[in-house]
Amino acid sequence: MHLPARWRTVVCSATAALAAVALTAAPAAAQTAAGGGGCPSVPIVHPFAPWQDFADYFLAPNGDFEAGATSWQLQGGASAVEGNNPFLVGKRTDHRSLRMPVGASATTASICIGVEHETMRFFSKSTTAGTLAVEALYTKPGASQKTVVSLGSVRGTGAWAPTPVLAMRVNTLAGSYANAMPINLRFTARTAAAWQIDDVYVDPYRTK
């Protein structure tokens, strides 16, 4: 079938536009999951983009507390409570967070990391300008007791806010675990302040 020149131009333009859409859509789909070394692939999101942090992150096991305290080890009165951080970086229906009175601690289930998992970040709120300690726990090959490494501390301001980016530190040891190192993250409420935390994320650094 022969088309007038004007219609051939329209058809060619539409075809080119569709091809461009397909080319630009492919990278976005490819970034929905990532796995490093021996760690399984996990969904990737960008929860801190509103704060100019465009790094890839994945949610720690039940890191949004929407399943209550399932899989978390809690001590000192820590508990899942109603009330989400106001930013709703996960689902719009999210409605829970974790409350920790003074001295309480909360530990995640096992998280697989490799050398590329360089940082972590979450949302927090304190009743006063207290301190929340963040640690990584891992077991050395052949050992029975967990080793504890400080990842730093977060200072509260009395309002919900994203925490600073914390270096994972122990990721440099992942080579001894075939780049699939199991760790736990532990949060402990220090000084005279009660805390709430929500949406705990780990950053699997990837070279674009």
pLDDT digits (tens, 9 = 90+) for 99-153: 999 999 999 999 999 999 999 999 999 988 889 999 999 999 999 999 999 999 9
* The architecture CATH gives domain 36-204: Sandwich (2.60)
Q: How far apart are CA 118 and CA 40, in angstroms?
A: 17
Name the residue ranges covered by the structural domains of the chain: 1-30, 36-204
Percent of the chain scoring above 90 in pLDDT: 73
Q: How far apart are CA 80 and CA 97, in angstroms?
A: 6
Q: How far apart are CA 107 and CA 135, in angstroms?
A: 9
Q: Which residues contact 87 (CB under 8 A, 6 or more apart)?
A: 50, 123, 160, 162
Cα torsion 60, 161, 117, 143: sign: negative
Higher pLDDT: 190 or 86? It is 86
Give the tens place of pLDDT for each residue, 8-35: 443 334 334 333 333 333 333 334 455 5
Residue 129, pLDDT score: 80
Give the residue from 49, 83, 187 showing the smallest Cα distance to 131.
187
Using DSSP bridges, classify how beta strands 111-113 and 166-167 pair: parallel, antiparallel or unpaired.
Answer: unpaired
Angle (CA) 111 194 87, round 5°: 65
pTM summary value: 0.82
- Beta carbons of 190 and 100 less than 8 angstroms apart: no
Residues in the chain: 208
